[in-house]
Amino acid sequence: MPDGLKELNKQIQDIPALLGIKKIPWLIAGPCSAETEEQVMATAVGLAKCPNVKVFRAGIWKPRTRPNCFEGVGEEGLKWLRKVKEQTGLLTATEVANPKHVELCLENKIDILWVGARTTVSPFIVQEIADSLRGVDIPVLVKNPVNTDIGLWIGAFERLYQSGVKKLGAIHRGFSSFEETEYRNKPHWEIPIELKRLMPNIPIICDPSHIGGDRKFIEPISQMALDLGINGLMIETHIEPAKALSDSKQQITPKELIELLGILKVRDTVPTDVLLKAQITRLRTSISRIDSRIIQDIADRMKFVEEIGQLKQKNKIPVLQMDRWESLLKDHIEKGLDKGLDKEFTKALFELIHTQAVKKQF
Ligand code: PEP
Ligand code: MN
């Protein structure tokens, strides 16, 4: 871990512990957008019945991809969040996208702020938000940037930390892509996993609503997140999802959220059973042995690649022969399928190996 990150990670203050949250997952729930006082209050009253929900979310200023849609109720909605806190005891959270938003949230005693995915991509705006938080002790959650750049995510934590914000958390909401995918935003689980490796003290909350884009995906994505050891979930919840003014397809009712919690399984993170521990150790040893073999095999493969590269150069044969590469890839995918390996996985694996092999031949 780079030295700067080590120090940052050491200084992180544990938001769930500070909020007295002991149960995993800790839940942030509430509508995509605050729309009316009635909608906000009815949703909050429903959510207050769910013991895991400690934080009520609602977007006040909405970053919409296209203009001319509902862009949030603005400042007025902050008063409704205040009322939520007074009447239900839930803490409140909303998105801030500029220093004015920060100022208004602080004035209205909002408990937690979050930086949205479209803001995390912009170092200028993140810096402005960080500057406006200097000397303010408030938890700030940062959503991953819309593109798969972990550096921007880390950069946002660094900017906030340099302004003195130590109560930091991450929200994994998936990444947009040009290709049509089943999900609204591809999860790319490797990115939050890498963030956890680099900054283990930053709690990670998964947002299955924005990853899936459809309520039918909330359960499987939440379960996957829990199985990967994620600390919390942010789930968009609306008293009447069908009537929501934004993200209507991906919201569930408070009652459905309570049902969902009954279905999700939280795994023990540390096995205590001695026999189980021994079994896990045995399997891990086998896995590590195979990993070493894979590394050795790839290194051997690269040696042959270098040799063939020299031969091609001497005989003026081009490095890349498309038909050979295409037939290799097809063959590998078929062999992989035969052994139960996912097509996309085999393809990605060999594309990576092949790219490196082509580089080696120049
Ligand atoms: C939201 O949480 O409502 C939101 C706008 O999310 P994101 O920044 O992840 O798009
Ligand atoms: Mn939303």
Query: Which amino acid does the sequence have at 361?
Result: Q
Chain-wide mean pLDDT for the chain? 95
- Residue 234 beta carbon below 6 angstroms from any ligand 1 atom: no
The C-alpha torsion from 298 through 299 and 305 to 307, rounded to 10°, is: -150
Q: Which residues of 16-32 are buried (b: 16+ CB within 10 A; e: fewer)?
A: beebebeebbbbbbbbb
Share of the chain above pLDDT 70, in %: 99
- DSSP conformation class of 239: S
Domain edges within the chain: 3-263, 274-360
Residue whose CA is at the smallest distance from ligand 1 atom 10: 117
Task: From 176, 169, 172, select the one nearest 190 (Cα to Cα).
Answer: 172
Instruction: Reply yes or no: is the peptide bond before residue 25 cis, omega within 30 of 0.
Output: yes
How far is the CA of 254 from the CAs of 43, 127, 213, in angstroms? Answer: 7, 36, 18
Give the position, in ligand 1's atom list, of the atom nearest the Cα of 32.
Answer: 3
26 has which bridge partners? 232
- Residue 58, pLDDT above cutoff 90: yes
- Residue 82, pLDDT above cutoff 80: yes
The tens digit of pLDDT for each residue in 141-157 reads: 999 999 999 999 999 99
Ligand closest to Cα of 206 equals 1
Residue whose CA is at the smallest distance from ligand 1 atom 1: 32
For ligand 1, the distance from its centroid to the CA atom of residue 111, given in whole angstroms, is 18
- DSSP conformation class of 35: -
- Residue 63 beta carbon below 6 angstroms from any ligand 1 atom: yes
Which pLDDT score is estimated for 21? 83
- Residue 116 beta carbon below 6 angstroms from any ligand 1 atom: yes
In the chain, DSSP finds a helix count (H) and a strand count (E) of 15, 8
The tens digit of pLDDT for each residue in 279-329 reads: 999 999 999 999 999 999 999 999 999 999 999 999 998 888 889 999 999
- Residue 360, pLDDT above cutoff 80: yes
Give the position, in ligand 1's atom list, of the atom nearest the Cα of 247.
Answer: 3
The C-alpha torsion from 95 through 120 and 15 to 96, rounded to 10°, is: -20
Rounded mean pLDDT, 223-252? 96
For ligand 1, the distance from its centroid to the CA atom of residue 200, given in whole angstroms, is 24
Residue whose CA is at the smallest distance from ligand 1 atom 2: 32
The tens digit of pLDDT for each residue in 158-195 reads: 999 999 999 999 999 999 998 888 999 999 999 999 99
How far is the CA of 338 from the CAs of 12, 251, 297, 353, in angstroms? Answer: 47, 39, 21, 20
Does domain 274-360 match CATH 3.40.50.150?
no
Task: From 324, 315, 316, select the one nearest 357 (Cα to Cα).
Answer: 324
Which pLDDT score is estimated for 269? 65
Task: From 138, 204, 198, select the one nearest 173 (Cα to Cα).
Answer: 204
- Residue 32 beta carbon below 6 angstroms from any ligand 1 atom: yes
- Residue 59 beta carbon below 6 angstroms from any ligand 1 atom: yes
Give the position, in ligand 1's atom list, of the atom nearest the Cα of 57.
Answer: 2
Which pLDDT score is estimated for 250? 98
Q: Taking a C-beta distance cutoff of 8 angstroms, is the pair 100, 125 a contact?
A: no
For a ligand 1 pocket test, name from 69, 73, 95 the mutation site with the most ligand atoms within 8 angstroms of its C-beta: 95
The Cα 214–Cα 315 span in angstroms is: 56
3-263 folds as TIM Barrel (3.20.20)
For ligand 1, the distance from its centroid to the CA atom of residue 210, given in whole angstroms, is 7
- Residue spans of alpha helices (H) in 264-362: 274-314, 322-338, 343-360
The pairs formed by 291-300 with CB atoms below 8 angstroms and a separation of 24 or more are: 298/353
Share of the chain above pLDDT 90, in %: 86
Helices 76-88 + 99-107 axis angle, to 10: 40
- Residue 197, pLDDT above cutoff 80: yes
Which range has the worst mean pLDDT, 36-40, 267-271, 313-317? 267-271
Which pLDDT score is estimated for 20? 85
Which pLDDT score is estimated for 191? 97
DSSP letters, 305-325, are HHHHHHHHHHTT--S--HHHH
pTM score, two decimals? 0.85
Which pLDDT score is estimated for 66? 87
> Beta-strand (E) ranges in the chain?
26-30, 53-57, 91-95, 112-115, 140-143, 168-172, 204-206, 232-236
- Residue 143 beta carbon below 6 angstroms from any ligand 1 atom: yes
Rounded mean pLDDT, 112-122? 98
Ligand closest to Cα of 121 equals 1
Q: How far is C-alpha 216 from the chain's CA centre?
A: 18
For a ligand 1 pocket test, name from 152, 207, 218, 248 the mutation site with the most ligand atoms within 8 angstroms of its C-beta: 207
For ligand 1, the distance from its centroid to the CA atom of residue 313, given in whole angstroms, is 52
